[in-house]
A = this chain, B = another copy of it.
Amino acid sequence: MPKSQERCQEIREETRNLIVKKSVLYFARNGFAGTRISDLSKHIGIAQGTIYIYFKSKEELYDEIFAISDKIAGNDKLTMLAKLPVPADQKIKKMSDYLIRSLKEDEMFVAGIALYTQRLLEGEADQSFYKTTEKIIKQGQKEGTVVAGNARKLSEFYWGIVYLYAVKSLYTADAAMISSADLARVLLEDRK
């Protein structure tokens, strides 16, 4: 009965995805230590034991969530964007557009940013976001469109602001958000 086999696999996949998806937000809000499996499972809508069918331990679930948090937060897109043969200010505008829109609309994204940055601050995540942004900044500084200053510090500041609004969105249903233009301006030279 190959069909039922496949269906089974499908169900597995679905349940696993459900767990991951619902856990991202929960962990982002409450932290690792602040998350009880009993509460989490209620929040997901499954039994406690079910989590342990898919993940060996709370830690493994948390780790998995981290492992994908940079994907959730759009690291791939950013990397691709950086490689495009367009001026840096365009890249920054696009990136800011994408980030602000995602912060507004996608709670998975919000949670991804929060988790990723949290771990970054604790020194446990790699710094690809920062580094990619740094490259764009340097390109922009050469092109004369990005403000002067240490590229690394500017990159950290930019992402700090994104983190800031992610954390806000985590707790407030509709956080007062800055505009995409405002965010971009953090890096871009004023054109007055």
Contacts and interface: CB of A to CB of B under 8 A. Distances in A.
Interface string A1-25: 0100000000000000000000000
Q: A interface, how many residues as a size bin? A: 20 to 34
Contacts of A52: none
Nearest to A35: B33
B31 A171 contact: no
A174 interface: no
A160 B159 CA distance: 12
A47 B153 CA distance: 42
Nearest to A157: B178
Nearest to A36: B33
A58 interface: no
A148 to B, nearest CB: 12
A161 B163 CA distance: 10
Interface of A: 2, 30-34, 47, 121-123, 150, 152-153, 156-157, 160-161, 163-165, 167-168, 170-172, 176, 178, 190
Interface pairs A-B: 10 shortest CB-CB: A33-B34, A33-B33, A160-B164, A121-B171, A153-B176, A122-B171, A31-B31, A164-B164, A121-B167, A31-B34
